[in-house]
Structure 1
Amino acid sequence: MPLSRRRFLTSGSAIGAALPFATASVYAQSGLVPDPSIEQTLVLQSAIDAAASSDGRLSLPSGRFVTRTLHLPSNVVISGVPGATTLIHAGQGALFDIRQVRHVTLSGLTLDGSGADGDEWHGGLIHVSQSSDIVIEACNITNTQLNGLSALSSSVRITNCDVWESALSGIFIYDGEAVFISNNRVHDCGNGGIRVWRGENAIDGAIVTGNRIWNIDWTNGGNGQNGNGINVFRADGVIVSDNAISDCTFSAIRLNTTNNTQIVGNTCFNSGEVAIFSEFEFSGSVIANNIVDGAAAGISMTNYNDNGRLASCTGNIVRNIATHSEVNPDTSPYGIAAEADAIVTGNLVDNVPGVGILAGWGPYLRDVTISSNLVRDVHIGITVSVADGAGSAVITGNVISGARDHAITANRWWDIASRDPASDGGQFSNLTIRDNTIIGG
């Protein structure tokens, strides 16, 4: 039966108490019925438009409401009862289309995409485009062939949301402005957890912090384009901090062609390839105080062949590296790798069935310092390149404990050129190796 005005007002009393300026009568007068057998797109759209023209607030009661795409105007707050107000998508594309508007907030809503797809480029069940001051908080977003939430050329704040079962990414940001993504739970997504991308390199400044991300697949395949918990591409000045990330098919955190990016204080479990990867034409990556436990490789700052350079890797714990990668057979087990203009200091590397720390690969080595690290329970403690064209490296003050094969080697590509380069005098003029402590073996 349709709800009476009295029953609507009664069910909305708790919302009105939590939001004192909410107009509870907006939905009471609209004819909105929490009945999943009735499509209510027109009723909901009318209620949204009416709220925007009055005090800007629409509070929805508990229940399940079937709707097609809803278009949101500026200056509106739509709230529901957290975990109890569900909008079920009956169409294609976005459920909420937020386009060229300002000051929109969605709060306490559950959005069920019903497996809907759409034609919008990188569209989302919540799709934001060319908009500013958009807030998405305490919402559940699930069951879509799109991204859970996408924001293109917009400023958004996404906090305390649950996003899962998105065929693409949980959260996709493209050419963002003042984006803040915090304290969300993103899991069981087809191609990515949180993506912060730009069309061309520019200062982005997104902050991605305090999120929990797990079970990220690579449905569309590739060699690292998909399957990452957090992926930053061409977006400069991004901060990725204090996230807990587990069971990603490729990387927990992957930077591609970024500048001045900070990866700080994250905990990364069970990555299928390199856990924290700064690759291709990057510059200015700070990777500090992270924990990597379980991965095919730990932390990588490479691709000097593509001008990847300038990295600081300090205070990290890398442990329990696997013997191989199920998704990328080219990955060899190592703890930390750096190639150009890099400092690797104060890290702890433990239990690696390969090399603890790698300095350079073939000719791709320039000005790498490896100092004051503890490397233990590995096959080879530290390997440095002396292939033709390799630049300089400084290896000082490290402790290497329990290296089963060799403590420090100089390599030409895969081949070991010296099993004790510190004792080989002037043979390798590009190397400074001293004051390292070797324990056991």
Structure 2
Amino acid sequence: MLAGIATLAIVAPAAAQSQFDAASLGIVADSGKDLTTALQRALDSTAATGQTLRLPAGRLVAANLVFPSNLIVEGVPGRTELIAASGGFIGKIAGASDIVLRDIAFLGASDAGDDALLSIDASDAITLERCSCSRGSTGLSISESAATIRDCRFTDLADAAIHSMNSRGLVIAGNRIERCGNAGIRVWRSANGADGSIITGNHIAKIDWAKGGNGQNGNGINVFRADEVIIANNHIADCAFTAVRLNSTNNTQISGNTCLRSGEVGIFSEFAFSGSIIANNIVDGAAGGISMTNFDSGGQLAVCTGNIVRNIMPTSPVNPDSTPYGIFAEADAAITGNTVQKVPGTGIGAGAGPYLRNVIIASNVISTTVIGVAVSVVDGAGKVHIADNLISDSGIAIAGMAWRDVVEPDLATNAARYPNVTVGN
């Protein structure tokens, strides 16, 4: 037993020396001085010795820091602020690996430009934990990198909380994102390719569309050309356009999200998408609930199941061309087992003119709508099968459409007139 105690006595001092105290290196918080040189020296020394750099509580002013590989930097939870010096960004990680930043608040300068507060480029095994970003254009800009961003907070950013281009697989989990000018989380690629990012358990709210446009801004989560992305169990509210917007993606899953008060479409899979699963989400309040469209651009292949869509608005405050609907699809889609309620338009729709192919609408519960189910019956429209739906409190139960016009108000009875339609039960 005495030998064991002796061993602990030898090991304990070595463990205590595994951290650098920044104050011992001349880094004094709340001095108001530009500490860039001292902080860079501390980062380099810490990484070279494989130790952890402990930052003091208070405000530290710096700009253009470079974080080297094999580094852990920790602040005092809720008390360490790293503030960008005038006209500069705070720091970057480039061509590095094995970096952990923890319990640090990154704050932009009052005259911050378009640079991200922190950029990560061509790097792997990068982790941010319990950090925050505010008062800048973008919180994190990530390019050609693999990173984990968890339990962080992003607020009051002019553009986006997290903007990623050509990532190597991100994990974005458990973060709070509020009051961003154009986007919450963007996962984009310059060309379609495997991305594999996982976005889960985040709270996202109050996303504006300061740069305007017809959907490229104003989204809580926006995935563009990035394939194999999973978006699950997020709470997303008050986005100017869309809670979750996919554009030209492949093999993407959207599941278990709560999407509240979207200005346009709650969940949107658009343009040349292929292979979207949209399951077990709640969409409450939007101009359109769930949309899987743009067959004319190659958009096809979707499963929409187990969702609740309700309280659709009669008009969109950001898109005057919107018409209200609960769920809408065009090509190679299964719409099954959903519940749609209170839509001042179509509960579930399939096809726009000839842009319809192989859609099934089955076993859904639809109530309080103008039209329960509406499908295209124009020449050239593809096959649609409607079966086993429970429709109530709807002015028209099942309608045949020519674009936006009702041409067959009783499609259930008269389906035989339209070769592309079958109706059962």
Q: Say whether the fold is shared (TM-score over 0.5).
A: yes
User: For the Cα contact (< 8 Å) 2:214–2:319, is it kept in 1?
Assistant: yes
Q: Which deviates more from structure 2 when the two are superposed, residues 417-426 or residues 269-278?
A: 417-426
Alignment deviations for residues 213-239 of structure 1 (CA, whole Å, 9 cap, x no partner): 000000100000000000000000000
Counterpart position of 1:419: 409
**Residue type matched to 1:100 in 2?**
G
What is the aligned counterpart of 1:104 among 99, 106, 109? 99
Q: 1:425 to 1:39 in 2, by over 3 A?
A: closer
Q: State how far apart, in whole Å, the 1-side matches of 2:378 and 2:77 are.
A: 60
User: For the Cα contact (< 8 Å) 1:22–1:58, is it kept in 2?
Assistant: no
Tell me, yes or no, if structure 1 residue 337 matches structure 2 residue 328: yes
Task: Give TM-score scaled by structure 1 length.
Answer: 0.91
Alignment deviations for residues 241-271 of structure 1 (CA, whole Å, 9 cap, x no partner): 0000000000000000000000000000000
Q: Secondary structure at the match of 2:316?
A: coil
Q: State how far apart, in whole Å, the 1-side matches of 2:248 and 2:112 are.
A: 30
Q: 1:203 to 1:25 in 2, by over 3 A?
A: closer
Q: State how far apart, in whole Å, the 2-side matches of 1:425 and 1:67 are.
A: 70
Counterpart position of 2:75: 80
Q: State how far apart, in whole Å, the 1-side matches of 2:18 and 2:111 are.
A: 32
Percent identity between the aligned chains?
49
Q: Secondary structure at the match of 1:28?
A: helix
What is the aligned counterpart of 1:140 among 117, 126, 132? 132
Counterpart position of 1:410: 400
Alignment deviations for residues 15-69 of structure 1 (CA, whole Å, 9 cap, x no partner): xx9x966645542331111124222111111111111111331011111111122
Q: 1:257 to 1:25 in 2, by over 3 A?
A: closer
Q: Which deviates more from structure 2 when the two are superposed, residues 293-302 or residues 31-40?
A: 31-40
Per-residue deviation at 1:92?
3.3
Tell me, yes or no, if structure 1 residue 215 matches structure 2 residue 210: no
**What's the Cα RMSD here?**
1.5
Q: State how far apart, in whole Å, the 2-side matches of 1:243 and 1:21 are.
A: 40
Tell me, yes or no, if structure 1 residue 173 matches structure 2 residue 164: yes
Q: State how far apart, in whole Å, the 2-side matches of 1:394 and 1:285 are.
A: 20
Q: State how far apart, in whole Å, the 2-side matches of 1:76 and 1:132 are.
A: 13
Tell me, yes or no, if structure 1 residue 353 matches structure 2 residue 344: yes
Q: State how far apart, in whole Å, the 2-side matches of 1:188 and 1:73 are.
A: 31
The correspondence of residues 6-405 of structure 1 with structure 2, limited to 5 A, is 23-118=18-113, 123-145=115-137, 147-403=138-394, 405=395
**Residue type matched to 1:63 in 2?**
G
Q: State how far apart, in whole Å, the 1-side matches of 2:145 and 2:312 are.
A: 39
Q: State how far apart, in whole Å, the 1-side matches of 2:196 and 2:27 are.
A: 41
Q: 1:425 to 1:162 in 2, by over 3 A?
A: closer
Q: Secondary structure at the match of 1:332?
A: coil
Q: 1:242 to 1:133 in 2, by over 3 A?
A: same
Q: Which deviates more from structure 2 when the two are superposed, residues 69-78 or residues 341-350?
A: 69-78
Q: Which deviates more from structure 2 when the two are superposed, residues 316-325 or residues 108-117?
A: 108-117
Alignment deviations for residues 318-373 of structure 1 (CA, whole Å, 9 cap, x no partner): 00001100100011110000000000000000001111000111111000000000
How many corresponding residue pairs?
A: 413
**Residue type matched to 1:70 in 2?**
L
Q: Which deviates more from structure 2 when the two are superposed, residues 98-107 or residues 25-34?
A: 25-34
Q: 1:222 to 1:36 in 2, by over 3 A?
A: farther
Tell me, yes or no, if structure 1 residue 434 matches structure 2 residue 424: yes
Per-residue deviation at 1:417?
1.4
Per-residue deviation at 1:116?
4.7
Q: Secondary structure at the match of 2:108?
A: strand
Q: State how far apart, in whole Å, the 2-side matches of 1:193 and 1:22 are.
A: 40
Counterpart position of 1:3: none
Q: 1:177 to 1:207 in 2, by over 3 A?
A: same
Q: State how far apart, in whole Å, the 2-side matches of 1:222 and 1:283 are.
A: 24
User: For the Cα contact (< 8 Å) 1:255–1:277, is it kept in 2?
Assistant: yes
Alignment deviations for residues 165-204 of structure 1 (CA, whole Å, 9 cap, x no partner): 1111101111001210000001100110000000000011
Q: State how far apart, in whole Å, the 1-side matches of 2:37 and 2:245 are.
A: 43
Q: 1:25 to 1:117 in 2, by over 3 A?
A: closer
Q: State how far apart, in whole Å, the 2-side matches of 1:417 and 1:393 are.
A: 16
Per-residue deviation at 1:209?
0.3
- Unmatched tracts of structure 1, length 5 or more: 1-16, 436-441
**Residue type matched to 1:134 in 2?**
I
Q: 1:21 to 1:167 in 2, by over 3 A?
A: farther
- Unmatched tracts of structure 2, length 5 or more: 1-11
Q: 1:311 to 1:137 in 2, by over 3 A?
A: same
**Residue type matched to 2:40 in 1?**
Q
Q: Secondary structure at the match of 2:264?
A: strand
Q: State how far apart, in whole Å, the 1-side matches of 2:88 and 2:223 are.
A: 25
Per-residue deviation at 1:117?
3.6
**Residue type matched to 1:131 in 2?**
S
User: For the Cα contact (< 8 Å) 2:59–2:83, is it kept in 1?
Assistant: yes
User: For the Cα contact (< 8 Å) 2:20–2:51, is it kept in 1?
Assistant: no
Q: Secondary structure at the match of 1:167?
A: strand
Q: State how far apart, in whole Å, the 1-side matches of 2:422 and 2:308 are.
A: 25
Task: Give TM-score scaled by structure 2 length.
Answer: 0.95
Q: State how far apart, in whole Å, the 2-side matches of 1:216 and 1:70 are.
A: 29
Q: Secondary structure at the match of 1:94?
A: coil
